[in-house]
């Protein structure tokens, strides 16, 4: 099966980290998820110039939260890669948006949590209007809502949203960056 068919490669290698987010080893994606090892990820919240938030419907081929709504862009940090480089790479891979690192503002650093898939997560804000080219094996579709509409929707239909998005949307710094009340 190709990556296009499965939504991700089980042969990806990620850094394994300890409870302080210090690298302690490397392991294949499939082993990290199977064994619940701590690792790193990024999430990007993209606000267009009109204030609309991009939500990504994850590919139905993904092994985690298939078909659920997530942040605009999310992904693992590859072994040896830093968080910001991963954010730039994932934005290009998933949405076809190429930006320089200075276009992304870090808005949150979340410690690992079961709702985050045992990931330490750095979240970034991207502002502006960009053309997209979706990676079919990663992203089913994108849709646009205001942050307040997203919050209201999640309150009445929480099962439509991935657990990482729900967790991050509850964090004060993410809410503040999106203009939502604490």
% of residues, the chain, pLDDT over 90: 85
Q: Rounded mean pLDDT of the chain?
A: 92
> Cα Rg for the chain, rounded, in angstroms?
15
- Pairing label, strands 119-127, 39-47: parallel
Pick the CATH number of 3-177 from 3.90.1150.10, 3.90.79.10, 3.30.2350.10, 3.40.50.300: 3.90.79.10
- The tens digit of pLDDT for each residue in 162-175 reads 999 999 999 999 99
Q: What is the mean pLDDT of residues 21-26?
A: 97
Question: pLDDT value at position 9?
Answer: 65
pLDDT at 109 over 60: yes
The mean pLDDT of 107-134, rounded to a whole number, is: 96
Mean of the pLDDT values across residues 66-91? 96
Evaluate whether 106 touches 122 at the Cβ level (below 8 Å): yes
> Is the alpha carbon torsion for 18, 66, 12, 42 positive or negative?
negative
pLDDT tens by residue, 27-73: 999 899 899 999 999 999 999 999 999 999 998 887 778 889 999 99
pLDDT, mean of residues 106-133: 96
Instruction: Report the candidate in 38, 74, 75, 57 with the shortest Cα–Cα distance to residue 145.
Output: 57
pLDDT band at 8 (very low <50, low <70, confident <90, very high): low
> Of the ranges 74-83, 95-104, 119-128, 134-143, which one carries the lowest mean pLDDT score?
134-143
Stated pTM of the model: 0.92
């Amino acid at each position: 099966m190709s990556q296009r068919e499965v939504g991700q490669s089980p042969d990806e290698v990620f850094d394994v980290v300890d409870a302080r987010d210090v690298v302690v080893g490397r392991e294949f994606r499939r082993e990290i998820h199977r064994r619940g090892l701590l690792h790193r990820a990024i999430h990007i919240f993209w606000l267009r110039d009109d204030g609309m938030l991009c939500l990504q419907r994850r590919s139905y081929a993904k092994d985690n939260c298939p078909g659920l709504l997530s942040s605009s862009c999310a992904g693992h940090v590859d072994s040896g890669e830093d968080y910001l480089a991963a954010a730039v790479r994932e934005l290009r891979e998933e949405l076809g948006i190429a930006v320089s690192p200075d276009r992304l503002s870090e808005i949150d650093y979340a410690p690992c949590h079961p709702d985050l898939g045992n990931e330490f997560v750095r979240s970034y804000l991207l502002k502006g209007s960009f053309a997209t080219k979706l990676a079919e094996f990663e992203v089913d579709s994108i849709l646009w809502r205001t942050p307040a509409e997203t919050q209201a929707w999640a309150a009445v239909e929480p099962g439509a949203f991935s657990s990482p998005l729900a967790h991050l949307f509850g964090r004060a710094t993410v809410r503040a960056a999106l203009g939502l009340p604490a």
